[in-house]
Amino acid sequence: MTSKRLPGYLVIQQTGSQEAEQLYQPKISGAKGLKNQYALYADWETDFLPYQKESFQTFVVDESQRLSKDHKLFGTLQYKKIVYHCVHHAGYKAKGTGERIFTHTGRSGCPAEIRLNVRLKAGELEVTVKNVSHNQELTDKSFKYLPENRRLSETEAARVISLQKSGVPTKAIQLQMTKAHVRSQTASGLTCVQVLFASAHFILAVEHAASEEVFVYNSLDSELSPHFRYQLFMLFSTETKPAVHVTFPVVQKQLPNTNQCGPMVAAYMAEIVDGGRPDKTLFDKAQPQQD
């Protein structure tokens, strides 16, 4: 099984193809890698989490078997075996009996796998399988925007908890946190439009043409539902069907003070993240009036 990527849309799985699959290796130094044996499960976790972050890989537990609680090694090793697969590992399995040649899914049959097994005599966990060849590119953006890796910072989480305890409605908390995020991102040099899409969990490549910005939807962010993607495509497209490239007659230099757009974009983003269809007039207000 191979995966076919359509630019700007979803990962498509295609069966029966003999096309050779391109594989990608993580770019990480040996010093930041993984050891072959671990005397403590806690040491494994201490190495494994930073390793994934540094190499832009995301593994999930596919299978595990714990040692019994009365086992002498339970306190140090906890597990008899653990099997990790790349988050893009297993393909979609149709439950019906009909033919499904194409399936929209973020899982592309990635072969990457790491397997741990206990060595009872040595009293340690051993990495018995370490296949880190992936069938998708390993980039900071693809790693950052995976649902498994989207987390609030400790400061943001504390702020949310404080607001909840104060009785602030969830919608108001969402809007307030989004505004703060927009302000911090625009202060770092991003335009409002870039922050809008990035914070709505879309990975964008922004290509500047002579008189327009072209927003290219990246297929790596394929965890969102096709319906949700369709809504956003329709929102910004003048066509009656989803477009691969959505263009706007807006140039970066036409928005001289991006921070002024913060509250507007924050409100717009809050509606997008909430799953509804935002009012397009909110975006139009951010564009400078043409003489």
Q: What DSSP designation does 134 have?
A: B
| Cβ contact 192:200 at 8 Å | no
Both tokens of 196, joined, read: 């809008």
* 136 vs 184: CA distance, rounded Å: 31
pLDDT score at 87: 85
pLDDT score at 99: 55
List pLDDT tens digits, range 29-52: 544 678 889 999 999 988 998 888
| Cβ contact 39:76 at 8 Å | yes
Q: What DSSP designation does 272 have?
A: H
- Give the three-class secondary structure for 282: helix
* 136 vs 109: CA distance, rounded Å: 10
| Cβ contact 110:134 at 8 Å | yes
List pLDDT tens digits, range 122-170: 899 999 999 988 888 888 767 766 666 666 667 877 888 888 888 888 7
- Closest-CA residue to 52 (of 98, 85, 100): 85
Where does residue 10 rank: exposed (0-12), middle (13-18), buried (19+ CB within 10 A)?
buried
For the chain, the average pLDDT equals: 62
CB proximity list for 237: less than 8 A, separation 6 or greater? 243, 246
User: What pTM does this model have?
Assistant: 0.49
- Closest-CA residue to 192 (of 234, 278, 255, 285): 255
| Cβ contact 244:9 at 8 Å | yes
Domain positions in the chain are 2-147, 151-284
CB proximity list for 73: less than 8 A, separation 6 or greater? 67, 118, 120, 123
| Cβ contact 45:82 at 8 Å | no
* 5 vs 8: CA distance, rounded Å: 9
| Cβ contact 273:200 at 8 Å | yes
- Give the three-class secondary structure for 66: strand
pLDDT score at 49: 86
What is the side-by-side strand order in the sheet with 2-5? 2-5, 11-14, 103-104
Q: Give the count of alpha carbons within 13 A of 4, CB side only.
A: 12
List pLDDT tens digits, range 65-96: 999 989 999 889 999 999 999 988 875 555 55
